[in-house]
């Protein structure tokens, strides 16, 4: 069992980690946006290692941020607030009710996009491009969630 002090320590470390993850995700997102990616750009990735590595960084940073916020930080904040912690889906719906996330459905969509980015990477430039555009559009939801969880934690009475 995790004591409140231990849980607070864990949350503080997770907030530090997610703050860095947000920073790096935003950097990668800007680089992807500025690259004006289209299907042709994706089709020739194997000929451009810089583009391939940039895309890998974007996908990895997006995935890492989503995992840390959704799988670690959210349950820890729920526990700190004496909320029940369940499956990731249960936690997302609870977070939506608490106003910590805008939409559990969008989080679920982002999870699917994460899988698409990883698995469609080598098979379909069109599907990869579509997933990238959606992540660029919806990815800020992860940042907003992280910010709301930071605020919840810092405003929590001791």
Residues in CB range of 74: below 8 A, 6 or more apart: 91, 92, 95, 100, 145, 149
Residues in CB range of 158: below 8 A, 6 or more apart: none
Structure confidence at residue 104 (pLDDT): 93
Structure confidence at residue 150 (pLDDT): 87
> Among residues 97, 89, 73, which one has the least CA distance to residue 153?
73
Structure confidence at residue 157 (pLDDT): 61
Structure confidence at residue 158 (pLDDT): 56
Structure confidence at residue 4 (pLDDT): 57
Structure confidence at residue 50 (pLDDT): 94
Structural domains present in the chain: 4-154 (1.20.120)
Q: Which residues of the chain have pLDDT under 50?
A: 1
- CA dist., res. 69 & res. 30, Å (int): 21
For residues 83-100, one letter each, b for 16 or more C-beta atoms within 10 angstroms of the residue's C-beta and e for the rest, the string is eeeeeeeebbbbbbeeeb
Structure confidence at residue 5 (pLDDT): 72
Structure confidence at residue 39 (pLDDT): 93
């Amino acid at each position: 069992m995790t004591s409140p002090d231990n849980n607070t320590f864990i949350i503080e470390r997770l907030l530090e980690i997610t703050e860095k993850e947000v920073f790096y995700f935003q950097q990668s997102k800007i680089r992807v946006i500025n690259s004006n990616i289209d299907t042709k750009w994706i089709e020739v990735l194997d000929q451009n290692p810089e583009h391939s590595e940039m895309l890998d960084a974007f996908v990895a940073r997006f995935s890492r941020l989503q995992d840390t916020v959704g799988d670690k930080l959210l349950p820890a904040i729920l526990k700190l607030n004496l909320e029940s912690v369940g499956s990731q889906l249960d936690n997302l719906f609870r977070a939506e009710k608490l106003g910590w996330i805008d939409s559990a459905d969008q989080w679920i969509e982002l999870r699917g996009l994460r899988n698409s980015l990883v698995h469609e990477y080598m098979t379909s430039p069109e599907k990869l491009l579509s997933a990238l555009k959606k992540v660029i559009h919806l990815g800020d939801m992860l940042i907003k969630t992280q910010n709301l969880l930071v605020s919840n934690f810092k405003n929590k009475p001791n």
